[in-house]
Structure 1
Amino acid sequence: MAEPYDPVREGAETAFEHAMSYGDYLALDAILSAQQPLSAAHDEMLFIIQHQTSELWMKLMLHELSAARAAIASDRLAPAFKMLARVARIMEQLNSAWDVLRTMTPSDYTRFRAALGQSSGFQSWQYRLVEYAAGNRNPAMLKPHAHRTEIVALLEAELARPSLYDEALRAAHRGGLPVPGDVTERDVRQPWQFNTGVESAWRIVYADPEAHWALYDLAEKLVDFEDYFRRWRFNHVTTVERVIGLKRGTGGTGGVPYLRRMLEVELFPELWRLRTTL
């Protein structure tokens, strides 16, 4: 019979009175004590962890999107591709998380929904930063955060910074594409509007990928990101309808009708529409 495994025999560290442990490094005491259900309902723990982990993934997504934009702005496209590929995988994780939440039935949710008060995912400032970074820039969405001046400052700073798409179009212009000047010099605080000149510029890339491979790869990375983002929105609305039907959201939104409207938002419309005319 084999002896029980003893990590000390392999030289594993087991004394942490004066050394940093795994839990110390990850601040697990703070993370694992952050789940404080407000009801006795069994499924409230699922609801809390689902949303807390989503916020952690969004924090990483913002880290990657910020670095990707900086890389694109300095024409270092290869590092940006890796960052954007990571963002797509993060979105895949966020999409998979809905499968876990969908194990909660309407009866389960009603047992603790009242405890949420007026709180809602609609108020996630990190999600708003992701949307702003991607280019869906609606200044009206600052209002839910007006009570937190430091959060408003973060959102305002994001609005003042070129979005991911703005940086991509500036890079395309520097790369020789005929991107209209009113696009590269536009007020980046404003929501993106479809531009036929931009579609024509991207069509040049897609008509001859080999001659514009770096920009072709950049365009497809943007499409990957929006593809996963659309799936996330679809999974969101489907999960909400499955759990609460057509009830209004806890934060006062229209619930499913509001989320369905969000499905119509296009981040990079030219990259999708040119496919029809290739």
Structure 2
Amino acid sequence: MTADPVVSGEPDPNVENGPEGPELHGDGAAEYLRYAEVDTLLALQHPRTGEPAEPSFIITTQVMELLFTLVRQSWESARDALDADDVAKAVAALRRGTRAQDVLVASWELLATLTPAEFARIRESLGAASGFHSYSYRHLEFLLGEKSAAMVRPFRGVPQAHAGLERALSEPSLYDAALRLLRRRGLPVPPERADRDWTRPYEPHPDVERAWVRVYEDEGGELFELGEALLDTAERVTRWRHRHLMAVKRTMGAKPGTGGSSGLDWLRAKAESDVFPELWRLRTNI
């Protein structure tokens, strides 16, 4: 096997360094375009208005959808690792997911200059379309334990998305997998929290909080590291929701959401709802 010239430090025979910088040869450029599907990617923006801000709105939405998928893969990997009693692998997956979450939160900056008038000129072209209808984001909420059969029904006309959400609705969430692991490790997680109707939203329980308090008594242990990784994940969920709230408040005020939600009231309630609640509550008692 020959050494990679980039890694080994040896000169790349496909690159000539001239006075104006490297001169690339070979089919590397074409391979890059094929690998990343760049032409397809750049052909996916189709503004419906003449508003100059609309391309930013479309691209930001597409970036978020890609990041939702990346975060979901990390959370599903973490859940599966917890089911397999591999805490280290689960923590690594959660840490990887937080990096994607950080970019997701920062992506709201792309809309920071969108004015109310600019958004009003875009909004009519959206019709009933809304981020409320993102099945990728709904999948993330199900992984967090925020289950709702009603949120699956709008996707009945999109078979692949509907099937994926039905499956996610009926499976244990990421947090359910963590609690089942704690119970297998002998911690006092109630049976009804380790084996329940997975289609129902998670409800906090004082015994679960006591189990996590026991975990936090062993600061530095692998279960403690899991708790902190879960909390890092939860905190970034709240950051994203708060940025969403503020973006909507800035661009459209208290108008109803395009998807039929109450707009600010709905977003404010979501931003104030803690993900993995016992991990937040235990901090009062330590």
TM-score over 0.5 (shorter chain): yes
Q: Conserved in 2, the CA contact under 8 Å of 1:125 and 1:151?
A: yes
CA distance in 1, matches of 2:62, 2:171: 27
The percentage of counterpart residues that share the same residue type is 38
Q: Conserved in 2, the CA contact under 8 Å of 1:92 and 1:228?
A: yes
Q: 1:219 aligns with which of 211, 219, 227?
A: 227
Runs of 5+ unmatched residues, structure 2: 1-17
Q: 1:131 aligns with which of 129, 136, 141?
A: 141
Give the secondary structure class of the aligned counterpart of 1:7. strand
Paired amino acid for 1:5: G
The reply on whether 1:55 has 2:71 as its aligned counterpart is no
Give the secondary structure class of the aligned counterpart of 1:71. helix
CA distance in 1, matches of 2:110, 2:163: 34
Q: CA RMSD in A?
A: 1.5
Q: Conserved in 2, the CA contact under 8 Å of 1:41 and 1:111?
A: yes
Name which of structure 1's ranges 166-175 and 264-273 shifts more when overlaid on structure 2.
Answer: 264-273
Q: Conserved in 2, the CA contact under 8 Å of 1:62 and 1:130?
A: yes
Residue 110 of structure 1 corresponds to which residue in structure 2?
120
**Aligned runs of 1:24-103 on 2, under 5 Å?**
24-103=34-113
Name which of structure 1's ranges 79-88 and 118-127 shifts more when overlaid on structure 2.
Answer: 79-88
Residue 7 of structure 1 corresponds to which residue in structure 2?
23
CA distance in 2, matches of 1:20, 1:240: 41
Q: 2:271 aligns with which of 258, 263, 269?
A: 263
Question: With CA pairs under 8 Å and 6+ residues apart, which has the higher RCO, 1 or 2?
Answer: 1
Q: What does the per-residue CA deviation read over 1:217-265, in whole Å, with 9 as the maximum and x for residues that have no partner?
A: 1111111011010011011011100000111111121111111121232
Q: Conserved in 2, the CA contact under 8 Å of 1:166 and 1:184?
A: yes
The reply on whether 1:163 has 2:173 as its aligned counterpart is yes
Q: 1:140 aligns with which of 141, 150, 163?
A: 150
Paired amino acid for 1:215: L
CA shift for structure 1 position 207: 2.5
Runs of 5+ unmatched residues, structure 1: none
Residue 246 of structure 1 corresponds to which residue in structure 2?
254
Paired amino acid for 2:26: T
Q: Conserved in 2, the CA contact under 8 Å of 1:102 and 1:243?
A: no
TM-score (norm 1): 0.93
Q: Conserved in 1, the CA contact under 8 Å of 2:148 and 2:169?
A: no
TM-score (norm 2): 0.90
CA distance in 2, matches of 1:256, 1:14: 54
Q: Conserved in 1, the CA contact under 8 Å of 2:147 and 2:199?
A: yes
Q: How many residues align?
A: 269
Q: Conserved in 1, the CA contact under 8 Å of 2:176 and 2:194?
A: yes
Name which of structure 1's ranges 235-244 and 96-105 shifts more when overlaid on structure 2.
Answer: 96-105
CA distance in 2, matches of 1:40, 1:14: 40
CA shift for structure 1 position 149: 2.5
The reply on whether 1:174 has 2:174 as its aligned counterpart is no
CA shift for structure 1 position 6: 4.2
Give the secondary structure class of the aligned counterpart of 2:152. helix
